[in-house]
């Protein structure tokens, strides 16, 4: 009988889809090699282990393992300007070369010249909003997707000399995979445009478009030459930032996250919504940009966006993990 059992076990091990206890005995590779063995890493790993331990006091079922990540400054840089702003500036500059009317627009000229003082002057950044309007409305969603894709394929970051979508943070890529391997669903919850991020989120982060919550304006359904199209408009703008993030989470995810990762005061409400008085175990994480050499160092005075003051003040009392980019990450950028 022992001989037969051994034969059966051998067959089982050779059959795909059949697993035995032996499969899991091998020591697993470190899922977070770019994270130094510091308190920040330990708090994250400890949290994941607690919520995934069946029968444990902090166990959370798969369906409620929702992780919400900010994008700009959290998954990739937001300096010298947020990458979507770089897209808008490059795009009007490119278009102005063949469009005299556009070339005569003073704000387009300011964009071409990188004159931010001019772009940010006036009420509610009037010039920048004008340029964003020129590059984000009036076209079909398919045309917009193509414009973003073409830009990503050709533009390079001014400091790092790489395509923008090759500047994601390696430790965060590992964290996203680690969470998904532990039954989490990973969402982006960003002030960036949903349509913009959805062009690359699946390819770059493994996050499918329907798991990207961002700023939106409504699209207009039309039939053109007998074909349905969606036209991007500036109507009903929803800004998925600050108090807008919990609102966006409610509307799009419809579940309260148990993990939220951000890097600025714009993420504070999301972290509060995730961690304060949540009936489930929860964790808030703030990425602190402390590495001028490898990336950027800022909090109160960021290069463009991403101010981190009040959220950093709240972190100790709220029990949020603050990641010191310089000391907690041994690698910053993912290898292309």
* Residue ranges binding its own copies (CB under 8 A): 4, 7-8, 11-12, 15, 17-19, 63, 141, 194, 198, 208-210, 212, 216, 218-221, 223, 226-228, 230, 236, 238, 243-247, 250-255, 269, 272-273, 276-277
Which of 117/223 has CB closer to its own copies?
223
Least Å distance, CB 198 to its own copies, is 6
∠ Cα 59 60 66 (to 5°): 145
Which of 186/216 has CB closer to its own copies?
216
Least Å distance, CB 193 to its own copies, is 11
Q: Which backbone phi and psi does 254 adopt, to 5 degrees?
A: 65, 15
Q: Which residues pair with 284 in a beta bridge?
A: 260
CA distance 186 to 207: 7
Which of 314/328 has CB closer to its own copies?
314
Least Å distance, CB 56 to its own copies, is 24
Least Å distance, CB 38 to its own copies, is 29
Which of 233/331 has CB closer to its own copies?
233
Least Å distance, CB 112 to its own copies, is 31
Least Å distance, CB 217 to its own copies, is 10
Which of 274/290 has CB closer to its own copies?
274
Q: Are 256 and 273 in contact (CB under 8 A)?
A: yes
**Per-residue b/e over 142-172, b at no fewer than 16 CB within 10 Å?**
eebbebbeebbeebebeeeeeebbbbbbbbb
Least Å distance, CB 118 to its own copies, is 31
Cis preceding linkage at 288, omega within 30: no
Q: Are 75 and 214 in contact (CB under 8 A)?
A: no
Q: Are 288 and 265 in contact (CB under 8 A)?
A: no
Which of 272/328 has CB closer to its own copies?
272
CA distance 282 to 184: 13
Which of 39/247 has CB closer to its own copies?
247
Least Å distance, CB 286 to its own copies, is 17
Q: Are 163 and 150 in contact (CB under 8 A)?
A: no
Least Å distance, CB 19 to its own copies, is 7
CA distance 160 to 259: 30
Which of 124/224 has CB closer to its own copies?
224
Which of 19/49 has CB closer to its own copies?
19
């Amino acid at each position: 009988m022992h001989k037969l059992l051994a034969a059966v076990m051998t067959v089982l091990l050779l059959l795909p889809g059949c697993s035995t206890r032996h499969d899991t005995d091998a020591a697993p590779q470190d899922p977070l090699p770019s994270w130094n063995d510091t308190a920040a890493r330990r708090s994250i790993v400890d949290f994941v282990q607690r919520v995934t331990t069946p029968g444990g006091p902090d166990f959370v079922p798969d369906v409620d393992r929702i992780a919400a990540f900010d994008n700009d400054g959290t998954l990739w840089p937001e300096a010298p300007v947020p990458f979507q702003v770089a897209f808008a500036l490059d795009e009007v500059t490119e278009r102005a070369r063949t469009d005299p009317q556009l070339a005569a627009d003073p704000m387009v000229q300011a964009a071409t010249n990188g004159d931010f003082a001019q772009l940010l002057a006036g009420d509610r950044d009037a010039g920048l909003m004008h340029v964003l309007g020129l590059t984000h409305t009036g076209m079909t969603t398919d045309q917009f997707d193509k414009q973003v894709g073409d830009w990503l394929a050709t533009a390079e970051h001014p400091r790092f000399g790489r395509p923008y979508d090759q500047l994601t943070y390696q430790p965060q890529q590992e964290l996203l995979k680690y969470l998904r391997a532990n039954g989490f669903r990973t969402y982006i919850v960003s002030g960036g445009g949903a349509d913009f991020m959805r062009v690359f989120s699946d390819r770059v982060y493994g996050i499918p478009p329907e798991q990207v919550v961002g700023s939106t304006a409504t699209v207009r359904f039309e039939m053109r030459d007998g074909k349905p199209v969606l036209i991007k408009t500036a109507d009903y703008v929803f800004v998925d930032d600050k108090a807008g993030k919990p609102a966006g989470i409610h509307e799009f995810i419809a579940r309260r996250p148990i993990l939220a990762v951000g890097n600025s005061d714009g993420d504070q409400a999301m972290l509060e919504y995730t961690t304060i008085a949540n009936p489930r175990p929860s964790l808030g994480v703030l990425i602190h940009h402390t590495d001028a050499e490898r990336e950027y160092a800022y909090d109160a005075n960021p290069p463009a966006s991403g101010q981190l003051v009040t959220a950093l003040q709240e972190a100790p009392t709220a029990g949020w993990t603050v990641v010191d980019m310089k000391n907690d990450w041994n690698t910053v950028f993912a290898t292309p």
